[in-house]
Structure 1
Amino acid sequence: MNNRNRGKNTGDDELFGSPKQTDKLKLAVQDMQYLLSRGYAEKASSELIGNRYRLKTRQIQAFRSASASVAQVEYRKSKQLLITDLKDQTVYLDGFNILILLESLLSEAYIFEGSDGCYRDLSGVHGTYKRVNQTQQSIEWVDLFFQKAQLQKLIWIFDKPVSNSGRIKQIILEYAQGKNLNWEVELEYNPDRFLAENAFIAISSDAWILDNAKNWFNLVEFLIEEEKLHVNLITLL
């Protein structure tokens, strides 16, 4: 696995770095929520809105991931737990989703806060996970959360078909053994469904998981506020 950063793409400052662009994205999220709340399809709605505001592909990806219907936002919020709810609990963590989000945050890539209060990035696995310079620090942030929440157990769930999933499993297990942490790492063929069906408490920013899991916790929000992290944040609420 190569050492590199998971930072901004070339051109991201032009797409996201000015008030003019962020204002357009906020309007796009408002329009998207209006259409989704009335039953319009997500893909068609995002294309329509993207054309209206003349947005580029990565801008469409950003506002689409940040958008949800009014009913979805309310339903997700009704299942969101506080840090005090987690004491002595077993928590399941959406491995690639959270790890890559933390790596992006630490790389000073743009992070987007959506309608549901969750944070999302523009990176992806695309079949292969590559370790970056911020991977170790990201695991340490999860450890910090584990200690402060006083969890009984943390179970990382990774996509088994993704190349290098076995390697990141080994890295996390070696870290946990060195710190005597009650962590497990599991590889699943369908991690989203596994989390929705098996996790009483899930940690993810994936919209489908948030809609289908029993309960969830906003780990990235907690770390940003608790540790006063510097974040290249664009709030699209």
Structure 2
Amino acid sequence: MQDDGWFCARTGGSHRHFKHPTKPNPSRMQVTRVGHSHVPPQLRRVNYDMAPLSRPVFIASRADFSGRLWHFAAMARQQAHRGAAPKDNQLFGPRQLPALRAAVHDLCWLLDRGYAAHSATELVGNRHNLTSRQRQALSRCACPAAAAQLRRQRQLDPAGLRGRELWLDGYNVLTVLESALAGGVVLLGRDGCCRDIAGIHRRYRKVNETLPALRLIGETTATWGVTCCRWWLDKPVSNSGRLKTLIHETATAAGWNMTVELVFSPDHVLWETDQIIATSDGVVLDRCRHWVNLARHIIAERIPRARLVDLFLDGGGGPDGVVAEKP
């Protein structure tokens, strides 16, 4: 490697991080080797000139004759889409739906009888031999029947929003719509809410579907006659400030009245307010006063090609998930 021009940029424990001064995009390519001085000749044939952004993550591992392990990683700085995973066609395809529906039926049966959600999910997942992603989907779909009924009773029809303010659980609503636009799996819950299984893991990245999702939210709420949309974003999540700026710019260009607040815990703000909120977070829905199923309305009316997975034979929350109630 050193003969080829690579040099040790830094050392972390037994790992040495090498860079090359002339290879394409050297700042985006990092080669890490576990601390051994010998470089097997076989590894010198690895194509370091590959385009770093040609795929999200590229990892190649080889062992030399002494059993030493080498790791080469090219890390992309950008995430193009939200939600879709390579094996989702297999994990949530037609052949898997009967088993998943049986599993969610078992999970709801346990939740209705007071079992803890985590323990019940593990029990059902082990019984049906589900993957971690399938178990995550089950946990987001299922809830006790009493909780689902209470959430429906608090749900408002969009007609009740005319002339009123709407508070949005920002990341919750936005990531669901981004996943729907990107062709990712969107789950229909027992309470009629649409939920994604993407997750942002304390770091948000703008994707190709971010701007279209913002426009759909703005256009839909404007059609409903909402006077102001107030976004609540998690302050500890990276890039929240950039998303706030993007929301302001998009709203200003379209003439929508939107404000954005960065707080440490949007959940507490949303379940304590008297305002109408938009979210699919079960914890917030169990404590809030009134809410509207914004994400499901947008998916049903504006994203006809969304990959909506319904694991309930009765269609989850009923037609369009809408139960009218006067505030």
| TM-score (normalised: structure 2) | 0.70
Match of 1:167 in 2: 242
Q: Which has the higher helix share?
A: 1
CA contact (8 A) 1:154 1:184 kept: yes
SS in 1 for 2:283: helix
CA deviation string 1:155-192 (max 9, x = no partner): 01100000000000000011112222111100110111
Is 1:114 the counterpart of 2:225? The answer is no
Distance 1:170 1:73, change over 3 A: same
The structure 2 residue matched to 1:104, chosen from 162, 166, 179, is: 179
Greater alpha carbon shift after TM alignment, 153-162 vs 3-12: 3-12
CA contact (8 A) 2:180 2:299 kept: no
CA deviation string 1:180-213 (max 9, x = no partner): 2111100110111111112521111111011111
Is 1:178 the counterpart of 2:248? The answer is no
Match of 2:298 in 1: 223
Number of residue pairs matched by the alignment:
236
Which amino acid in 1 is paired with 2:148? V
Distance 1:37 1:117 in 2: 17
Is 1:40 the counterpart of 2:115? The answer is yes
CA contact (8 A) 2:180 2:303 kept: no
Higher radius of gyration, 1 or 2: 2
The structure 1 residue matched to 2:125, chosen from 45, 50, 71, is: 50
CA contact (8 A) 2:83 2:197 kept: no
Q: What stretches of structure 2 of length at least 5 have no aligned partner? A: 1-76, 313-327
CA contact (8 A) 2:177 2:299 kept: no
Match of 2:220 in 1: 145
| TM-score (normalised: structure 1) | 0.96
CA deviation string 1:41-91 (max 9, x = no partner): 000000000011100000000011000101001000000111111111111
The structure 2 residue matched to 1:67, chosen from 119, 130, 142, is: 142
Q: Which has the higher strand share?
A: 2
CA contact (8 A) 1:200 1:213 kept: no
CA contact (8 A) 1:8 1:110 kept: yes
Distance 2:203 2:274 in 1: 25
Match of 2:70 in 1: none
Which amino acid in 2 is paired with 1:193? H
Is 1:136 the counterpart of 2:237? The answer is no
CA contact (8 A) 1:87 1:149 kept: yes
Match of 1:10 in 2: 86
SS in 1 for 2:260: strand
CA contact (8 A) 2:181 2:303 kept: no
The structure 1 residue matched to 2:273, chosen from 198, 201, 208, is: 198
Displaced runs of 4 or more, over 4 A: none
If asked which structure has higher relative contact order (CA below 8 Å, sep 6+), I would say: 1
CA deviation string 1:121-141 (max 9, x = no partner): 111111110000010000000
CA contact (8 A) 1:93 1:202 kept: yes
SS in 2 for 1:13: helix
Match of 2:311 in 1: 236
CA deviation string 1:142-163 (max 9, x = no partner): 0111111100111011000000
SS in 2 for 1:29: helix
Distance 1:42 1:7, change over 3 A: closer
Q: What stretches of structure 1 of length at least 5 have no aligned partner? A: none
Q: CA RMSD in A?
A: 1.3
SS in 1 for 2:259: strand
